[in-house]
Amino acid sequence: MRLLRDHCLILLIVALSAPAAAWPLQDVDSSRARVDSLIRTALTLHSNGLYVDAIRTFVLAGADTGAPRERFSLGLSYAALNDFQQANKLLREAVTLEPDNVSYRYQLARFLVQAGAFDEGRSEYERAFRSDSTYIPLLFSLGLLYNDLRSYDQSARMFRRVLAESPEDYLSYYYLGTVLVALANQDSAQVCFRTCLTLNPNFVPAMNVLASIFYAKKSYASALTLYREASALRPDNADLVNKVGLCYRGLDDYPHAADAFRQATELDSLNDSYFGNLGHAYYRVQKYDSSVFAYRRAIAIDPDNPLLHVNLALVLQKVDSLQSAVAAFHGAIRAHHPGEIADIYFQLGNLYFASRKYREAIQSFDAALRIDSTNAKALWSVASALDDVGDTRAAFRNYQKYLKLAENDSLEAKRVEWTKIRMKSLKAKE
pLDDT digit string, tens, across residues 118-148? 889 999 999 999 989 899 999 999 999 999 9
In a domain, 242, yes or no: yes
Does pLDDT of 79 surpass 80? yes
In a domain, 87, yes or no: no
Q: Does residue 324 sit in the same domain as residue 375?
A: no
Does pLDDT of 343 surpass 80? no
Looking at 336, 371, 403, which one is the last position of a domain? 336
Q: Does residue 311 sit in the same domain as residue 405?
A: no
pLDDT confidence band for 29 (50 / 70 / 90): low
Q: Does residue 330 sit in the same domain as residue 223?
A: yes
Q: Does residue 382 sit in the same domain as residue 283?
A: no
Q: Does residue 307 sit in the same domain as residue 375?
A: no
Q: Does residue 252 sit in the same domain as residue 304?
A: yes
Q: Does residue 321 sit in the same domain as residue 412?
A: no
Q: Does residue 223 sit in the same domain as residue 323?
A: yes
Q: Does residue 316 sit in the same domain as residue 400?
A: no
Does pLDDT of 21 surpass 60? no
In a domain, 415, yes or no: yes
Q: Does residue 263 sit in the same domain as residue 323?
A: yes
* Count of structural domains, the chain: 2
CATH number, domain of 396, equals: 1.25.40.10
Does pLDDT of 327 surpass 60? yes
In a domain, 7, yes or no: no
pLDDT digit string, tens, across residues 396-415? 888 888 888 887 888 888 88
In a domain, 299, yes or no: yes
212 or 34, higher pLDDT: 212
In a domain, 204, yes or no: no
Q: What's the domain range around 417?
A: 361-430
Q: Does residue 285 sit in the same domain as residue 244?
A: yes
Burial class of 219 by CB neighbour count within 10 A (0 to 12, 13 to 18, 19+): middle
In a domain, 396, yes or no: yes
Q: Which range has highest mean pLDDT (275-279, 289-293, 334-338, 349-353)?
A: 275-279
